[in-house]
Amino acid sequence: MRATVDIVIYPGFKAIEAVGAINVFDYANTRLQQLGCAPKYELRIVGPCAGVIRSDTLVSLDATKALNGLVPADVVVIVGARDILNVLAVSGDIVDWCRECAPRIKTMVGLCSGSFFLAEAGLLKGRRAATHWSVAELMRQRYPEILVDADAIFIRDAHVWTSAGVTAVFDLVLAMVEEDLGRDIALSVARDLVVYLKRPGGQSQFSGHLLSQMTVHPQVRDIQDYIHRSPKADLSVRVLAARFAMSERNFSRVFLKETGHTPSAYVEQTRLDSARRLLEDGKQPLKWIAMESGFGSEARLRQAFQRRLNVTPGAYRERFASTGVEDVAGVA
């Protein structure tokens, strides 16, 4: 069944988010046509007014439809902005439209700081929601009734989807395509766009792979790379300090200063990321996953998941299998 998709933009919208969403949906249509099937998505670019709208970059898009008087689509995707508070201050029409039309929209999506439009319209009350890490605390303070998850790449709460910043658009929209059309089509689209169907580090804004890129000290980065490559290895402070040619005490001090984490905490987080990927990717026994991710035993794996994620490995796999769509409706 065909679905209409409105990509909602406004002056200063994030170009990469709008174009990213359009590309994923369009490539999915192309794949379907190659298989002799009808396109799934009818895409429309919508703005407060029809016409050319400038983004946060040199890119402009032509909004062929105006929100006023528009019959809501099946799917509405609202992109984010760099200065979301200033945008909100002059975009009451978008907020009002969201509030008025929400009951008639099957799927609402807030990309990055675009989730603030949904929050302002009262559509995220009592829901879990994701947004860019840099404005997560702002969302918590401004909308205390929202359960903000600053770590998640994207979250689905019933018919409302929200995502983290910028390139997380690919994660979220690929998950939507997989739900609509199946894993094979979603994987084909991911390959066409040369992006991950699921990014390394699991569905988290703060995976070790991303955090390590922020480390300035070259030797500490080397150690981080080694930890990521070898989660099953002996990663005790004694062994890591020896690779660093430092005393254990000095190594721990330097590592903490550079990364903001103790070596043991960083190792556990890396192993947790590894276990999360394995749980999302397949149905291997928990004992095998515990060994492959470096925990050594199923008991230690369970303890780490309970302590850091407040969920068992089995429950995590049930929630995040496939592309990692988290549908919190009905999940205890």
Decide if 331 is inside a domain. Answer: no
Q: Which residues of the chain have pLDDT under 70?
A: 196-216, 319-332
Give the integer Cα–Cα distance in Å for 55 and 45. Answer: 13
- Where is the domain boundary, 163, 193, 223? 193
Residues 170 and 310 placed together within one structural domain of the fold = no
Asked if 254 contacts 220 with a C-beta cutoff of 8 angstroms, the reply is: yes
Residues 297 and 187 placed together within one structural domain of the fold = no
Decide if 235 is inside a domain. Answer: yes
The CATH number for 175's domain is 3.40.50.880
The structural domain count of the chain equals: 2
Residue 331: the pLDDT is: 30
Domain residue limits at 289: 208-320
Q: How many CA atoms lie within 13 A of 269 on its CB side?
A: 20
Residue 133: the pLDDT is: 87
CA quadruple 114, 118, 121, 127: dihedral sign = negative
pTM over 0.85: no
Residue 211: the pLDDT is: 54
Report the first-to-last Cα separation within the chain, whole angstroms: 32
Give the pairing type, strands 41-47 and 3-8: parallel
Residue 205: the pLDDT is: 53
**What DSSP element (H or E) covers 209?**
helix 208-212
Give the integer Cα–Cα distance in Å for 255 and 272. Answer: 19
316 three-state secondary structure: helix
Residue 324: the pLDDT is: 45
Residues 273 and 309 placed together within one structural domain of the fold = yes
Residue 283: the pLDDT is: 80
Residue 279: the pLDDT is: 87
Ramachandran angles phi, psi of 308, nearest 5°: -95, -30
- Where is the domain boundary, 193, 219, 236? 193
Residue 260: the pLDDT is: 84
Decide if 199 is inside a domain. Answer: no
Residues 167 and 286 placed together within one structural domain of the fold = no
Decide if 248 is inside a domain. Answer: yes
Residue 327: the pLDDT is: 44
